[in-house]
Amino acid sequence: MIEFDQVTVTYDGAREPALQDVSFTVPEGELALVIGRTGSGKSTLLRAINGLVPHFTGGRLAGRVLVDGRDTREYRPRDLADVVGMVGQDPMSGFVTDTVEDELAYSMESLGVAPDVMRRRVEETLDLLGLADVRDRALTSLSGGQRQRTAIGAALTSHPAVLVLDEPTSALDPQAAEEVLAALQRLVHDLGVTVVMAEHRLERVIQYADRVIEVPGGAAAVSTGLPAERMVTAPVAPPVVELGRLAGWSPLPLSVRDARRAAAGLRSQLNAPKPARTGAPLGAELAHCKDLVVSYGTVTALRGVSLSIQAGEIVALMGRNGAGKSTLLNSLVGIIAPRSGTASAAGVDPRRTKPKRLVKAVGLVPQEPADLLYAATVADECASADSDFKVPAGSCRALLERLAPDVALDMHPRDLSEGQRLCLALAVVLCGAPPLLLLDEPTRGLDYGAKRRLVAILRELAAAGHAVVLSTHDVEMVAEVATRVMVLADGELVSDGETAEVIAGSPAFAPQVAKILAPLPFLTVGEVAEALDRAS
Amino acid sequence: MRAVNHLTLPRALHPGAWWLWALCMAVAASRTRNPVLLVLILAVTGFVVSARRSDAPWAHSFTAFLKLGLLVIAVRVVLQALLSTRSQGNTLLFTLPQIPLPDWAAGVKLGGDVTAEALVTALYDGGQLAVMLCCVGAANALASPRRLLKSLPGALYEMGVACVVALTFAPQLVTDGRRVRAARRLRGRTRASFRTTAMPVLEGALDRSVELAAAMDSRGYGRTAQAPRAQRRLTALCVLLGLLGILLGVYALLTDAMAFPFAAGALAAGVLLAVAAMAVGRQRVSRTRYRPDPWALPEWLVVAAGAVAAGAMVIAAVRGVNGLLLAGPLVVPPVPVLPVVGVLVGLVPALAAPPLKSSLKKAVP
């Protein structure tokens, strides 16, 4: 169905090709998963499938891309619209109309499909993706999962043979991601659609993949293979695979279900010792909220949240999209005025403190990291951060090099990949070393390597007496790094306690290791390895 | 009876019908300075808006236009007080300190005596403009601007898409600006500069437009336009000329700027030109339309109600019926029967337009 034949893509003005000598085929009806580091060229590969590269982006494409027998050299993206459906990283930015139904019909209108066929297909798609309840709703009023499903539906109504998705679940909470993946699964199984999908969150998708396309970036060759084979040696792997490797299971399980069936022996081996979790000793109180109420117009975002966070803690803030996580973080830095109640950060009232002094008390990396970046190059950005926070020149750059060693200093921050941009924003805020550090969804678009480095830095900060609060949907990261978890629902704090207590029991928030080894209280592969060491 | 002809079966009325009705009400308002009639027109449009508007963001525009109208009246009255002369009457209300002006400004008087006649005239004139503004506001509140653009003829499709994209981006820019301003605090900066405010917003908007363009390209936008360039340009030119003619005609009819036959001629020529160009343009468009808004009995009734209201006023004005214009500023305004009845017919849409689906009413949280 899709055939890449010695494809090399070089963007205008780039020194090195973004993709080099890529050859692979994806047969009809397969779900192919594209993996690779942040910024390694996954998006370029996806966009080459429907001809956006090079027709839309410019640059040179050598070699040949065939989709359903059509050569993208001769067909522009719009001429391939009936064969390839494309869903971008941010569904909101690709919406052309304003309601769900109109959005679903848009591509068919462009293709000139007859009105009665259109009507039928829209109804079918609404049912297929479970969108019938929201058919009249404005797109802006949808939840993240509904938006993503609408975007998929909009690409599907023209009955393409190939569906291309760029990180469809990375911005979604676990439940919404399940919805989207279930819908995709249905398309592949029932309709025989060929799906090509890039995703960092391997733990969510690897079990559904029929084929893995690894884009290592740089000059290394792109390779393909079966998921189970690739995972044996892959440098990055989801926890279920790492646990399988640790326990020496063969064949390597890719889903929690398979692993659980293989894990009976491991569970009895681990039965006795309990993993020891010792955090840094807790220090002074760095964040404090009392009966915090925040509302936007008639919508109440937070209703009576009280909490206290001490130095040395790493707190994970979890909950659905729209549960009030960002609002809570924003109130702690004084961006949002509370309707009643108080919020204080490192002992100061953020609403009444001058920004210059406030940044020495609390730092926030916002959900859109680009908002923090003003300079024309990465190097300038680092220099201006040094002067903003009055730290010795070069501190920001040193941090950036630890987080993302491969960022070119002369690039424009907007040209970085999403993950790299986040690393830059993180470095900018971290170089002020505020006692209280807040991170709003720091793991979106990060690959495993960058996550591992982020975890190391956060632990270091906590040990040095900082308090860290991060809002995230990434349960594996929470299991790895958090000492305490708070779950928000509908603006209220519904649970607050030690990580193991809060997440292990919850079906949605439990990490893979906890699901495999339940009822044993293990959360990460590291803990299991340690326990095995002690046992032997 | 066909389902679309039911008056009580919930559906959205064709946005074009709402606009025609509202424009008719504006025409009615343009024919009179009698405050009783003006207030009546305002009440009629306000009632229809409150009866048939949705909860969508644009539905609040009637209040916004009402405020704008009050501002217009206030500006008019204040200016009149400052620049008032005794030309309109002699009932002195109060005297402002007069500011002496240099010789070259002879004939202009700043401050001095303020007469009741001058103020009341300003109030009525401003009121007329304010009521016409509110009629436009009513159309905005009742008809989704996007649905209106969707019902544009095929020849204007590209223009419509550009407007839809602009409609999405404008509010997005405001939210972006707010977010970026908030983020500036996080870098410890207090002063705003072009680089720290406008740049991130503009860069973000540019990024989004590129994303949207890529998405539209991938979804087949622009796939079917295969007419020769010259023909495409000619159609576009004809459409624009036609619209210009319509605009000129409507303006002339509303303001008495031109003789009636000439104005009507311009309007007719404009309509003809535009319709012809669109018919030609339509042939090259092979895109289809999903669930186009129907034009059925409720639409006809709504437009007819507006036409009756406007017609009654225009006929009354042409016949010189007493009470449309006041004999003098300070007389008690009379209540002419024919125009009042005509304007009251404008209430019909409150019943004739089908109610909205309940799901649409509570769509926005």
- Residues of B (202-261) whose Cβ lies below 8 Å from A: 203-204, 207-208, 211-224
Quick check: A19 pLDDT over 50? yes
Given a contact cutoff of 8 angstroms between Cβ atoms, the answer to whether B251 and A77 are in contact is no
How many CA within 13 A on the CB side of residue B237?
Answer: 6
Query: In chain B, what residues touch A124 (CB-CB under 8 Å)?
Result: none
Quick check: A284 pLDDT over 70? yes
Question: Which pLDDT score, from 0 to 100, does residue A278 have?
Answer: 59
The residue written with tokens 């799906």 in the block is A195
Quick check: B91 pLDDT over 60? yes
Question: Which pLDDT score, from 0 to 100, does residue B131 have?
Answer: 95
Shortest Cα–Cα distance, B142 to chain A (Å):
16
**Closest CB to A77 among B184, B218, B360:** B218
Instruction: Provide the whole-model pTM.
Output: 0.80
**Closest CB to A112 among B183, B212, B288:** B288
**Closest CB to A118 among B165, B190, B288:** B288
B10 touches chain A (CB under 8 A): no
Contact A110 B186 (CB under 8 A): no
Mean pLDDT (chain A) is 87
pLDDT tens-digit series, residues A160-180: 999 999 988 877 888 888 888
Question: Which pLDDT score, from 0 to 100, does residue A228 have?
Answer: 87
Question: Which pLDDT score, from 0 to 100, does residue B199 have?
Answer: 81
- Which amino acid, B338? L
Given a contact cutoff of 8 angstroms between Cβ atoms, the answer to whether A316 and A478 are in contact is yes
% of chain A surpassing 90 pLDDT: 32
Question: Which pLDDT score, from 0 to 100, does residue A438 have?
Answer: 93
Count Cβ–Cβ pairs < 8 Å, chain A vs chain B.
Answer: 173
Contact B188 A389 (CB under 8 A): yes
Cα nearest neighbour of A51 on chain B: B218
Q: What ranges make up the beta strands (E) of A200-354?
A: 211-214, 223-225, 285-296, 299-310, 314-318, 340-345
Per the model's pLDDT, the better-predicted residue between B278 and B17 turns out to be B17
DSSP characters for B255-300?
HT-S-HHHHHHHHHHHHHHHHHHHHHHHHH-----SSPPP--HHHH
% of chain A surpassing 70 pLDDT: 98
CA distance linking residue B95 with residue B69, whole number of Å: 27
The domains found in chain A, sorted by start residue, are: 2-236 (3.40.50.300), 285-520 (3.40.50.300)
Collapse the DSSP code of A57 into the 3-class scheme (helix H, G, I; strand E, B; otherwise coil) and give the result: coil
- The ipTM of this complex is 0.85
Per the model's pLDDT, the better-predicted residue between A419 and A382 turns out to be A382
Per the model's pLDDT, the better-predicted residue between A232 and B283 turns out to be A232
Question: Which pLDDT score, from 0 to 100, does residue B346 have?
Answer: 93
Collapse the DSSP code of B191 into the 3-class scheme (helix H, G, I; strand E, B; otherwise coil) and give the result: coil
pLDDT tens-digit series, residues B284-323: 666 788 888 888 999 999 999 999 999 999 889 888 888 8
Structure tokens at B125: 């004139």
pLDDT tens-digit series, residues B159-199: 777 877 777 777 778 888 888 888 888 888 877 777 777 88
As a dihedral over the C-alpha atoms of residue B232, residue B233, residue B237, residue B243, rounded to 10 degrees, the angle is 40
pLDDT tens-digit series, residues A78-128: 889 989 999 988 888 888 888 899 999 999 988 888 999 999 999 999 988
A297 confidence band (pLDDT: 50, 70, 90): confident
Question: Which pLDDT score, from 0 to 100, does residue B283 have?
Answer: 67
Quick check: B28 pLDDT over 90? yes
CA distance linking residue B322 with residue A401, whole number of Å: 84
Test the A interface: residue of B147, B150, B193, B218 with most A CBs within 10 Å: B218
B361 confidence band (pLDDT: 50, 70, 90): very low
- Determine how β-strand A285-296 pairs with β-strand A340-345: antiparallel
CA distance linking residue B32 with residue B35, whole number of Å: 8
- Residues of B (263-322) whose Cβ lies below 8 Å from A: 286-291
pLDDT tens-digit series, residues A308-345: 999 999 999 998 878 889 899 999 998 888 999 999 98
Question: Which pLDDT score, from 0 to 100, does residue A3 have?
Answer: 93
- Span A392-420, average pLDDT: 84
Given a contact cutoff of 8 angstroms between Cβ atoms, the answer to whether A76 and A97 are in contact is no
Query: In chain A, what residues touch B365 (CB-CB under 8 Å)?
Result: 141, 299
Cα nearest neighbour of B182 on chain A: A335
Shortest Cα–Cα distance, B214 to chain A (Å):
7
Quick check: B363 pLDDT over 50? no
pLDDT tens-digit series, residues A39-79: 788 889 999 998 998 888 888 999 999 999 999 988 889 88
CB atoms closer than 10 angstroms to residue A133 = 11
Cα nearest neighbour of B161 on chain A: A96
Question: Which pLDDT score, from 0 to 100, does residue B45 have?
Answer: 95
How many CA within 13 A on the CB side of residue B359?
Answer: 10
